Amino acid sequence: MNLAFYVHIPYCIKRCGYCDFNTYTPSELQITTGLKSITNSYTNLLIAEIKSARKQLGDQSTVPSIFFGGGTPSLMEASDIESIITAIGSEFDLASDVEITLESNPDTVDREKLENFYNAGVNRISFGMQSAVPHVLATLDRTHNPDNLYQVTQWASDVGFKEISVDLIYGTPGESKADWQKTIDTALSLPITHISAYALIIEEGTKLAAQIKRGEVGPVDDDLTAEKYIMADNAFTKFGFDWYELSNWSKPNSESKHNLAYWLGHNWWGAGPGAHSHINGKRFWNVKHPNLYKQKIDAGEAPVADSEDLQESQIESERLMLSIRLPSGVEKSTLNEKQILDLSGYVKSGHLDEGNWDNGRAALTLEGRLIADRIVREILL
């Protein structure tokens, strides 16, 4: 079977105000010697989990993609990343065209480090750009200098990366349409093959949520956010980036194999604290805190916090939720009469493409993408 690998690197120098990911700063972990002092030992823990995964799965699987996410994976040493790739390759079969992605904060790399990552086996790099506008980055509590993006993407291209992506966030309180247009234009001026653009979601418990609650930062304007999505899609499409998932656009043949594995419901193993896995209809996830994760691995125990066997109804619901996010949409033959009847109204309203509908598929139009969640709720009732 195919098995995608997600490797979680849970460390950041500083926590961004909007972030609720499972990440930890040196102060939160009470580390006074810097993160570098713990990355080597953390690498050994990940390798131990990878070996355990091989024992649990039995038959050797083919790995089409490895994704180093975080956190800030670019804080790791290239030698540690190489050791993890080597471990996966020794326990499983790496596909001949394996995609190996590393998320990176632009301020954490220079040309030499990018070259070292490339030589370690990383062949796709994703930079957390978020915005090109300083006051928007300040609201997000991002620390990187937006002017660095051209330099780091050019370095990445120079050292050999053919696949370079940037992550953008739109809808930040105080971000005007002109601000967002500047971010779009800046991104499109870079030597990139892929763009992810996500609407800002205010997560409870984050610094930004507290600031909005106290009135220090304005609320998110949903109508303006929808306008920004259309602005982005129009601009990206004009520059040869086609949407292949609601929040992702790529040049031809530069789609993220790893992300597609999630959206198509394939198997994946998540290594590291808090990482989630999905194997043949069973979902499980690791303990969240790095210290507890270390205790479990050192004791020879599985670091799993909990698991669930997905029911047929859950599998079907997730198939619909994920498929509708893709240009191919959902095959009408897999829907019941009520679902088809409910969706037919969205064809008339222009939210589902009439041509695709007539050819047996429920596929979103640009307007439909803006209300994708509503359409999904309709067919899951």
Q: Which CATH superfamily is domain 4-263 in?
A: Aldolase class I (3.20.20.70)
Q: Where are the alpha helices (DSSP H) in the chain?
A: 36-57, 78-91, 111-120, 134-140, 148-159, 177-188, 207-213, 222-238, 257-263, 290-298, 312-323, 337-348, 354-358, 366-370, 372-380
Based on its alpha-carbon atoms, the radius of gyration of the chain, rounded to whole angstroms, reads 21
More confident residue, 147 or 195: 195
Q: For 66-81, what is the mean pLDDT? A: 94
Q: Looking at residue 30, what is its pLDDT?
A: 67
Average pLDDT, the chain: 91
CB neighbour list of residue 375: distance below 8 Å, 6 or more residues apart: 324, 343, 346, 351, 352, 364, 368
| Share above pLDDT 90 across residues of the chain, in percent, rounded to a whole number | 77
Look at residues 318, 307, 335 and name the one whose alpha carbon lies nearest to residue 262: 318
pLDDT in tens, 146-169: 889 999 999 999 999 999 999 999
Q: What is the mean pLDDT of residues 169-193?
A: 96
Decide: helix, strand or coil at residue 147. coil
> For residue 379, what pLDDT is reported?
82
In one-letter notation, the amino acid at residue 320 is: L
| Of 21 and 265, more confident | 265
Residue 19 has pLDDT above 70, yes or no: no
Return the pLDDT at 12.
Answer: 77
Give yes or no for residue 94 having a pLDDT over 80.
yes
Which residue is listed with tokens 């804080």?
75
Q: CB of 124 within 8 A of CB of 156? A: no
What is the residue extent of each domain of the chain? 4-263, 313-380
Give the confidence band of 212 by pLDDT, cuts at 50, 70, 90: confident
DSSP 220: P
Decide which of 250 and 31 is more confident: 250
Count of other CB atoms within 10 angstroms of residue 57: 17
The per-residue pLDDT for 141 is 85
pLDDT tops 90 at residue 23: no
Minimal CA–CA distance to 190: which of 164, 167, 169, 217?
164
Please give the pLDDT value at position 17: 64
The encoded tokens of residue 265 equal 């419901």
| CA separation for the pair 235, 247 (Å, rounded) | 14
Sequence length of the chain is 381
Q: Please check the confidence at residue 283 and state whether its pLDDT lies above 80.
A: yes
- Average of per-residue pLDDT across 373-378: 90
Q: According to the model, what pLDDT value does residue 137 have?
A: 92
Query: Residue 356's pLDDT band (boundaries 50, 70, 90)?
Result: very high
Residue 37 is predicted with a pLDDT of 60
Closest CA to 256 of 165, 172, 182: 165
Please give the average per-residue pLDDT across 52-68, as a whole number.
Answer: 92
Q: What is the DSSP letter of 273?
A: T
The model's confidence at residue 38, banded by pLDDT at 50, 70 and 90, is: low
Is the sign of the CA dihedral 104, 37, 269, 28 positive or negative?
negative
Q: What digits encode the pLDDT tens for the residues 100-151?
A: 999 999 999 999 999 999 999 999 999 999 999 999 999 888 877 888 999 9
pLDDT given at position 24:
75
Q: Which residues lie closer than 8 Å to 314 by C-beta, 6 or more apart? A: none
Return left, alpha or beta for 160; rule: phi > 0 is left, psi -120 to 50 is alpha, else beta.
Answer: left
**pLDDT confidence bin for 87, thresholds 50/70/90:** very high
Q: What is the pLDDT of residue 20?
A: 66
